[in-house]
């Protein structure tokens, strides 16, 4: 489904209010964004953006989950980030006029808000608070990327897995990762193999550091995980 917000601009404004990028906006600024925003559904596994395509829109995740990936020659994937409700993507090509820097693929059925390039640019020009929100989010992203580079160089696989689990849990209540994140996805995020991640997760579970169920991973001993991750 695509098209103008199905239940009216005001309802969209209400949903945008919960998106960190737009949180500082005044009522009228929010409504201005809502008027030009469109909604779109993507089924699981659909490619939302292709690396190297020209950029024509910014996306905000209202519901669902997407992964930002680079695909190597032999089809090997590196997951740069997993984005969920409230996160946005597709801003880079709109800001620097370069092609898309990565693929973005839905890992769950996802409901997104789409802002066309010119509308997004106009919003940026008219609302400095959006520009500030964007800078804040980009700084956060850079910090995470720095952490990741540090982890790749300085930590062994146990350390990288521990750090990733802590990071993902911190996006919720610090104790639990409520999403289904497969060992394969973890491996693609830390540059390891699924088999090695499965072995590490079994070790962690055996030592009482985590408890894994079908839909979530509970962190049972954050202190020890922090030690392992060098934090
Ligand atoms: P763009 O380059 O337009 O298209 C791909 C998008 O993926 C990019 O904008 C960002 O929104 C997002 N992206 C790229 N790298 C990262 C990263 N390291 N962390 C989170 N999101 C990213």
Q: Which atom of ligand 1 has the smallest separation from the CA of 68?
A: 7
pTM of the model: 0.88
Mean pLDDT by 10 residues, the chain (231 residues): 48 85 86 91 97 96 95 90 94 95 96 94 87 91 92 93 95 86 92 95 96 90 95 73
Q: Which residues line ligand 1 at a C-beta cut-off of 6 Å? A: 49, 55, 68, 80-81, 89-93, 100-102, 104, 141, 145
Quick one: pLDDT at residue 168?
Answer: 92
Quick one: pLDDT at residue 10?
Answer: 57
Alpha helices in the chain (DSSP H): 8-16, 27-36, 91-96, 117-126, 128-154, 157-170, 183-190, 194-206, 222-228
């Amino acid at each position: 489904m695509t098209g103008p917000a199905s239940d009216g601009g005001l309802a969209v404004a209400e949903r945008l209010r919960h998106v960190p990028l737009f949180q500082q906006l005044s009522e009228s600024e929010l409504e201005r964004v809502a008027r030009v925003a469109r909604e779109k559904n993507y089924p699981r596994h659909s490619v939302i953006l292709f690396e190297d395509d020209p950029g024509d829109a910014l996306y905000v995740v209202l519901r669902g989950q997407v992964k930002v990936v680079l695909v190597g020659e032999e089809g090997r994937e590196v997951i740069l980030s997993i984005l969920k409700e409230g996160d946005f993507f597709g801003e880079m090509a709109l800001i620097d006029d370069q092609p898309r820097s990565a693929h973005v693929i839905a890992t769950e059925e996802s409901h997104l808000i789409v802002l066309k390039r010119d509308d997004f640019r106009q919003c940026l020009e008219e609302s400095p608070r959006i520009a500030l929100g964007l800078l804040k989010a980009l700084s956060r992203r850079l910090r995470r990327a720095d952490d990741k580079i540090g982890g790749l160089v300085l930590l062994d696989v146990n350390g990288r897995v521990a750090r990733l689990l802590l990071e993902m849990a911190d996006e919720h209540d610090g104790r639990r990762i409520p999403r289904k994140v497969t060992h394969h996805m973890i491996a693609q995020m830390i540059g390891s193999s699924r088999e090695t991640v499965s072995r590490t997760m079994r070790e962690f579970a055996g030592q009482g550091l985590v408890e894994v169920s079908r839909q979530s991973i509970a962190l049972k001993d954050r202190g020890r995980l922090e030690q392992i991750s060098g934090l």
